[in-house]
Structure 1
Amino acid sequence: MTPEILFEAMWQDYITRLCPSACRVHQLLQENEPLVNDHIALRTFNLDPVRMSTLAKPFLEMGYEEKGHYHFESKKLNAKHFEHPDPKQPKVFISELETEHCPVPLQKIIKSLVAHIKPEMVSDASFLYGGRLWPVSLEQYHILSEESEYAAWVAAHGYGANHFTVSVNQLNQFRHIAEVNRYLNDNGFSLNTAGGEIKGSPAVFLEQSSTMADKVAVEFTDAELLIPGGFYEFAKRYPMNNGVLYPGFVAASADKIFESTNNIH
């Protein structure tokens, strides 16, 4: 499988199942050239057979290389990002929940979910856009939500791109990420304001913003519920001292981007 084929399959899953509003964002921002996807993000648990290394494997086989490492103590997450030698390919940001640092009731639920997975279910890249691999009840979802929105999100949605990201550097009609934010606000989109609408700054070579996640219908074993799905991110990268655009991520900013899927009651 080529990166192009994989990202197209992930995009179709993303706009169908997780973030239907992404199509409208595309229409609003589309110019003469196709929008450049800066990166995608994936979420998982640090348990076999779905820990971060399993999700990374298909990308490594396509030539991606492991780059930055990140830790989010309050959210109990570890993450890495991966880059392809071809700079036109999107970066990949993969995070995993440190389940052993979670309360015992949450650990038990997560382990019971992951126990449904057979190794062959995650043996090729198609599981990255295959959705949920286990049954989960509404009660389990609510218990997880109380402790970790992240855990609840993975339990409910399974595997798929948590977000795609428009590269603001490419846009002609907007030079600044604040202008993109204003345009989206004017067109009815709610933005993630955790830590401010713009996360980061030119001083750290990266600015990011994002919509709040779409509410999408999810079938649990005992009911259907509208819950946060995927969101759309926007990133502007700045040149480092050597003139090259900063390729990594800023942990303090990413920490707030995670909150784009928080359930606002």
Structure 2
Amino acid sequence: MECTRLSSSISSLYNTSIKIKSSLSTQSRNFVTLNITKSPPNPIYHNNIIKRSLSIVSQSSTMDDFQQSSTSKGSESFFRSVLESMEKVYLSRNQTADSILKLVKSVDGEGVCYDHIAFRTFGVDGHGIDSIAKFFLDFGYTMKDQLRFPAKKLKAFWFAPPSYTCDDNGSGVTGPLPRVFISELLVDEMSPQAQEIIRKYTKVSGIGNRHAALASALGTLTWEIPLYSEFQDLARESEYAAWTLVNGYALNHVTISVHRLKSQLNNINSINKFIEGNGFKLNSEGGVLKVSPDGLLLQSSTVADSTSFHFGDGKEESIPRSYIEFAERLVLPQYQNIADKEIKESHRRDGFEVGNADKIFESTSSDQLTRKAA
């Protein structure tokens, strides 16, 4: 069972963490110990600021202390290793994303950066945004703006990477740390039948929500493998809910930072043409190109891959997996006079846009999956 495998993995990682803690005992501050302790309370959202205790950082240390600590390099190495594991699971399940990354690298070189990575969650019983966010907060990320999607019964927050590190030479998760976008289904707003199904699985997950990042890195569910009939029931009401039931905390998508590319692909129209020219289908919801009202955030995405899935009742059916996105952030008006070679990421449009994200969500919808390529 998935839960048994996850418990074994937690035990293994816990034993490793004891060794890490021991090796850092001579330091004035302990950072990564990954002790399996009682989880912190659910976050309290007030004016879009999360108020919570960071469970991994010792009480004697502040985040500023961590950033200056001699252990931060080792901690960052551990953090990036987890991200790499998440990425490996993602690429192993999504041939389109793997192929496109290789294609772009064949033209642009190995230094392809991620603009952001994204996760989906259930907003119930501690399995919502905070379940995955706490991992990133513990490693220096900062919660930013909230986004609401009333029609889809969703909300989301995005998280900015820490400023203490910036590796401009790596690729993907080994390069500049990406933004993180985490959404959750507002389960209490769903029908009684849908709520019953979701709560059934989050209940048997037990403390699985405390180890969401581990589940993502391992590519496993923290609850039992669902029944196909319940997957169908959820899909009729919310395809987001059905996707999350079978994919759990797996990466929903990664996003190539288009303006950071060094070749002729470094604008959104060029890369869209390149992707479609190589036979891949782009999400056409609201048009292939999604543009923010200020015209400074340009996004597009492929349609999700589908793979066979063995359900708990013995049925084997195709389910939607993940997709890859592309984002170009234009220079803000106040920095238009800066020379191109002097432009930094901080000079560009930051954040996310509800209208764009709402359409990007459709990359896993049945309408997009069954649509014939143009």
Output the TM-score relative to the length of structure 2. 0.68
1:113 equivalent among 192, 201, 205? 201
Shift of 1:176: 2.4
Amino acid at match of 2:271: V
The aligned residue for residue 248 of structure 2 is 158
Partner amino acid, structure 1, of 2:279: G
In structure 2, the residue matched to 1:188 is 279
Give yes or no for the alignment of 1:225 onto 2:288.
Answer: no
Cα distance per residue 1:203-248 (max 9 Å; x no partner): 3420000000001122211211112100000000012234311120
Match of 1:234 among 326, 330, 338: 326
2:134 maps to amino acid: K
SS in 2 for 1:82: strand
* 1:72 corresponds to: 149
Structure-2 change in CA distance of 1:175 and 1:37 (3 Å): closer
Indicate the residue corresponding to 2:184 in structure 1.
Answer: 96
**Which of 82, 96, 104 pairs up with 1:21?**
96
Distance 1:5 1:242 in 2: 37
Is residue 149 from structure 1 mapped to residue 239 from structure 2 by the alignment?
yes
Q: Tell me the amino acid that sits aligned with residue 255 of structure 2.
A: T
1:142-200 Cα deviation digits (max 9, x unpaired): 00000000000000111111000111011222242121111111111010000100001
| In 2, Cα distance between equivalents of 1:120 and 1:131 | 11
Other structure's SS at 1:115 match: helix
- How far is 1:201 from its partner? 4.8
1:24 aligned partner, one-letter code: S
Q: Distance in 1 between matches of 2:213 and 2:360?
A: 25
Equivalent residue number for residue 249 of structure 1:
352
* Larger RCO (CA under 8 A, 6+ residues apart): 1
Q: Is the 8 A contact 2:118 2:181 kept in 1?
A: yes
Q: Report the Cα distance in structure 1 between the residues aligned to 2:151 and 2:365, rounded to whole angstroms.
A: 15
Deviation string for 1:87-117 (max 9, x for gaps)? Answer: 6210000000001111111011000011111
Q: Which moved more, 1:49-58 or 1:201-210?
A: 201-210
Q: Secondary structure at the match of 2:327?
A: strand
- Deviation at 1:68? 1.4
Deviates more, 1:222-231 or 1:80-89: 80-89
Q: 1:202 touches 1:238 (CA, 8 Å); kept in 2?
A: no
What's the CA shift for 1:120? 5.4
User: Residue 260 of structure 2 contacts residue 266 of structure 2 at CA under 8 Å; is this kept in 1?
Assistant: no
Figure out how many residues of one structure are paired with residues of the other and give that number: 264
Contact 2:126 2:209 (C-alpha < 8 Å) held by counterparts: no
> Could you say which structure has the higher strand fraction?
1
Q: SS of the counterpart of 2:204?
A: coil
- Higher relative helix content: 2
Q: How does 1:195-214 map to 2 (within 5 A)?
A: 195-201=286-292, 203-214=294-305
> Tell me, which stretches of 5 or more residues in structure 2 are unaligned?
1-74, 167-175, 336-346
Cα distance between partner residues in 2 of 1:241 and 1:127: 42
Q: CA deviation at 1:79?
A: 0.1
Alignment partners' CA distance in 1, 2:352 and 2:312:
37
Change (3 A) 1:123 1:184: closer
Secondary structure at 1:48's aligned position in 2?
coil
Q: 1:51 to 1:202 in 2, by over 3 A?
A: closer
- CA contact under 8 A between 1:55 and 1:128: conserved in structure 2? no
Q: Distance in 2 between matches of 1:119 and 1:231?
A: 29
Query: What is the rounded CA distance, in whole Å, between the counterparts of 2:307 and 2:179 in structure 1?
Result: 26
1:46-85 pair list within 5 angstroms: 46-85=123-162
Tell me if structure 2 keeps the 8 A contact 1:71–1:77.
Answer: yes
Provide Cα deviations, 1:38-67, integer angstroms capped at 9, x if missing partner.
Answer: 101000011123121111000000000001
- Give the structure with higher Rg (CA): 2
Shift of 1:32: 2.4
Aligned to 1:4: 80
Tell me what 2:258 maps to.
168
Q: Is the 8 A contact 1:121 1:127 kept in 2?
A: no
Identity across the alignment (%): 37
What RMSD over aligned residues (CA atoms) do the two structures have, in Å? Answer: 1.6
